[in-house]
């Protein structure tokens, strides 16, 4: 393989930030972009409150609410690294699309509010990362405010997420008394200056016992506590183990305050060194290793309509998995077995889209789409193969859906198909009912509004939705005879677009009862049957 291609790939880091709303993801992203010089001033990533609308607020509905619904891709250069951040919607109502975006990431940064710990959305996103076995790096944010004891937070990571952790840094004080973070690997002290947080003094120590630490902190009690805690970590904590980090079994923890840029650069530098370059992916002909396969390949992980209302365009996001992409190149669209010329690809720094001439494994490009692409499609140059199917995840909200005017049925079906292909909604059909009904499932309730809004705006169709009381969908598989009985007896069954059988449940109790009744069957949370 050519050295230049190897170097290009090795310098790529493609990751997603996972967090619960309000943990500080927008703030952290802004600071990361600032370090990379990609934006001139913070506050331009997302329009908060009165600020002007942010770069990732593409859709009308996002503008009306001042939130970001769609995932965007932000890229910047830092030292010799080419960094791609996959932005996942951070508000309460996130969509399945958020999950899918994670399939394009090689690692994840998990952001946690020091006062709140592991929250619901973080937990869901973590599960998806775990399913993929990607390394996860934790940033504990808002140390400038009183938060929970760091040992408590470590315990919570283990209890709620099942992951052990290795603190790369350790805070000295918190909130009013926040003084510094000690970098365990570099044996460095980073001093926090509340009056001028951007002014960070770094002191090189010989270790935690270095008297320079006492001089710098000037608080005997805090220093004593810090030394005690660090000793406890050294004795009772997990060892630093790069192999376990790579497998996603151990998460390195960093502490900081994103709003004051404190700890962000340290996090970024360690993260870039420790996180993997573009990784091997499974396909129909076995693993595709970007370091081995020189020719181009990639997959579509997201299709987004109307990114720019003026142009009414549709963009398919492609994650390059091997080789070099160059503008105008011809590739094969494997599902349809047709050649395709990639003539107008775009790279994103939100609205300032620019035409890209060349891109490499690890990069994300946007392809203008006239309806050819579906989520999960593979594009290749040379030998043909397909990347593994993209999973669907259990929706949490359901509604029976009908079109108001029967005459518009065609546009309605077209719109539904489009939105299903984009992954904005999942469409099910009732199973074994006299009158077949269409059931829409979404991960976040806001998607219902998006659905209504888009069907009206793009297809001029009014719909009627009747919310259903379900909270869980489980893909069912197992012994055929038992499955047959299950299909006959179980209520609230639907089929997905691949005709797989899916059971809907209102609550955990209902689900447990069914599992107890049919121990021979498997109830999967995703269509991957994993």
Q: How far is the CB of 23 from ligand G4P (least distance, A)?
A: 5
Contacts of 3 by beta carbon, 8 Å cutoff, 6+ apart: none
Q: Which residue, 17 or 250, has its beta carbon nearer to ligand G4P? A: 17
Asked whether residue 322 is marked as a ligand-binding residue, the answer is: no
CB 297 within 8 Å of CB 322? yes
Write the burial class of residue 139 (CB in 10 Å: 0-12 exposed, 13-18 middle, 19+ buried).
buried
Quick one: how far is CA 420 from the chain centroid? 19
21 annotated ligand binder: yes
- Rounded-to-integer distance, Cα 75 and Cα 53, Å: 19
Q: Is 208 annotated as a binding residue?
A: no
Determine whether the annotation assigns residue 26 to a binding site.
yes
Instruction: Give the list of residues 6+ apart from residue 273 with CB closer than 8 angstroms, or none.
Output: none
- Residue 166: count of CB within 10 angstroms of its CB: 20
From the CB of residue 49, how many other CB atoms can be counted at a distance below 10 Å?
Answer: 5
Residue 268, annotated as binding a ligand: no
397 is in an annotated binding site: no
Q: How far is the CB of 342 from ligand G4P (least distance, A)?
A: 33
Comparing CB distances to ligand G4P, the nearer of 62 and 377 is: 62
23 annotated as a binding-site residue = yes
Report yes or no: 425 and 451 within 8 Å, Cβ to Cβ: yes
Residues near ligand G4P (CB under 6 A) are 19, 21-27, 48-49, 90, 141-142, 144-145, 257-259
Q: What number of residues does the chain have?
A: 530
Instruction: Please give the Cα distance from 16 to 109 (Å, whole number).
Output: 6
Burial zone of 132 (CB within 10 Å; 0-12 exposed, 13-18 middle, 19+ buried): middle
Residue 106 Cβ vs ligand G4P, minimum distance, rounded to whole Å: 22
In terms of CB distance, is 25 or 332 closer to ligand G4P? 25
25 annotated binding-site participant: yes
- Shortest reach from residue 305's CB to ligand G4P, in Å: 24
In whole angstroms, how close is the CB of 353 to ligand G4P at the nearest point?
22
- H or E element at residue 71: none
The answer to whether the annotation marks 68 as part of a ligand binding site is no
Residue 24 annotated as lining a ligand binding site: yes
Q: Per DSSP, what are the bridge partners of residue 463?
A: 403
- Minimum CB distance to ligand G4P, residue 144 (Å): 5
**Strands of the sheet with 164-167, listed across from one edge:** 73-78, 81-86, 12-19, 107-113, 136-141, 250-255, 164-167
Q: How does 327-350 read in b/e, with b if 16+ C-beta sit within 10 Å?
A: eebebbbbeeeeeeebeebbbbbb
Given a contact cutoff of 8 angstroms between Cβ atoms, the answer to whether 248 and 130 are in contact is yes
Shortest CB 269 distance to ligand G4P, Å? 18
For ligand G4P, which is the closer residue by CB, 261 or 346?
261
Between residues 25 and 314, which has the closer beta carbon with respect to ligand G4P? 25
Closer CB to ligand G4P, residue 50 or residue 337? 50
Q: Based on CB atoms, which residue is closest to ligand G4P, 46 or 82?
A: 46
Smallest distance, ligand G4P to C-beta of residue 239, A: 29
Among 126, 143, 146, which Cα is nearest to 135's? 126
143 marked as binding residue: yes
Instruction: Give least dist CB 427 to ligand G4P, A.
Output: 30
Minimum CB distance to ligand G4P smaller for 92 or for 214? 92
Cα 444 to Cα 425: distance, rounded to the nearest angstrom: 10
87 labeled part of a ligand binding site? yes
Closer by beta carbon to ligand G4P, 54 or else 494: 54
**Among 237, 302, 246, residue whose Cα is nearest residue 275:** 246
Element (H, E) at 221: helix 220-236
Residues of each annotated binding site for GTP: 19-26, 87-91, 141-144
Residues of each annotated binding site: 19-26, 87-91, 141-144
């Amino acid at each position: 393989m050519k050295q230049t291609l190897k170097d290009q790939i090795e310098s790529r880091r493609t990751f997603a930030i996972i967090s619960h709303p309000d943990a500080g993801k927008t703030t952290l992203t802004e600071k990361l972009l600032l370090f990379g010089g990609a934006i001139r001033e913070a506050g331009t990533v997302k329009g908060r409150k009165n600020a002007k609308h942010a770069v990732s607020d593409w859709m009308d509905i996002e503008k009306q609410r001042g939130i970001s619904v769609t995932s965007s891709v932000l890229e910047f250069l830092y030292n010799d690294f080419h960094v791609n951040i996959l932005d996942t919607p951070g508000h309460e109502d996130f969509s399945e699309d958020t999950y899918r975006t994670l399939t394009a990431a090689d690692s994840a940064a998990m952001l946690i509010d020091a006062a709140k710990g592991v929250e619901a959305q973080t937990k869901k996103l973590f599960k998806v990362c775990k399913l993929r076995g990607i390394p996860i790096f934790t940033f504990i944010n808002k140390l400038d405010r009183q938060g929970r004891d760091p040992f408590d937070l470590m315990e919570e990571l283990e209890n709620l997420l099942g992951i052990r952790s290795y603190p790369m840094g350790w805070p000295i004080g918190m909130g009013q008394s926040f003084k510094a973070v000690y970098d365990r690997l570099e044996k460095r002290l980073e001093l926090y200056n509340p009056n001028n947080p951007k002014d960070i003094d770094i002191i090189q120590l010989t270790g935690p016992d270095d008297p320079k630490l006492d001089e710098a902190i000037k608080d005997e009690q805090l220093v004593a506590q810090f030394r005690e805690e660090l000793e406890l970590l050294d004795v009772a904590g997990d060892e630093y183990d790069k192999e376990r980090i790579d497998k996603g079994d151990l998460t390195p923890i960093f502490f900081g305050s994103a709003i004051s840029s404190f700890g962000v650069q340290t996090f970024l530098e360690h993260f870039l060194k420790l996180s993997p370059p573009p990784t091997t992916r499974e396909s129909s002909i076995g693993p595709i290793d970007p370091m081995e396969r020189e020719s181009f390949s990639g997959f579509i992980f997201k299709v987004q309509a109307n990114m720019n209302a003026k142009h009414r365009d549709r963009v398919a996001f492609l994650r390059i998995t091997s080789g070099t992409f160059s503008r105008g190149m011809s590739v094969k669209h494997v599902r349809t077995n047709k050649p395709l010329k990639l003539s107008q690809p775009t790279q994103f720094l939100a609205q300032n889209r620019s035409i890209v001439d060349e891109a490499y494994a690890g990069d994300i490009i946007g392809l203008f789409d006239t309806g050819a692409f579906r989520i999960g499609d593979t594009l290749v140059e040379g030998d043909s193969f397909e990347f593994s199917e993209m999973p669907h995840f259990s929706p949490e909200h359901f509604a029976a859906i009908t079109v108001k005017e029967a005459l518009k049925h065609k546009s309605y079906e077209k719109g539904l198909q489009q939105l299903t292909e984009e992954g904005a909604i999942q469409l099910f059909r009732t199973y074994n009912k006299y009158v077949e009904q269409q059931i829409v499932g979404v991960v976040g309730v806001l998607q219902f509004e998006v659905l209504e809004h888009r069907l009206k705006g793009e297809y001029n169709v009014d719909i009627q939705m009747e919310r259903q009381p379900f909270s869980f969908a489980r893909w069912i598989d197992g012994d055929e005879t038992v499955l047959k009985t299950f299909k006959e007896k179980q209520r609230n069954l639907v089929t997905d677009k691949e005709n797989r059988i899916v059971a809907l449940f209102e609550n955990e109790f209902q689900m447990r009862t069914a599992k107890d009744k049919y121990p021979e069957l498997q109830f999967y949370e995703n269509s991957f049957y994993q």
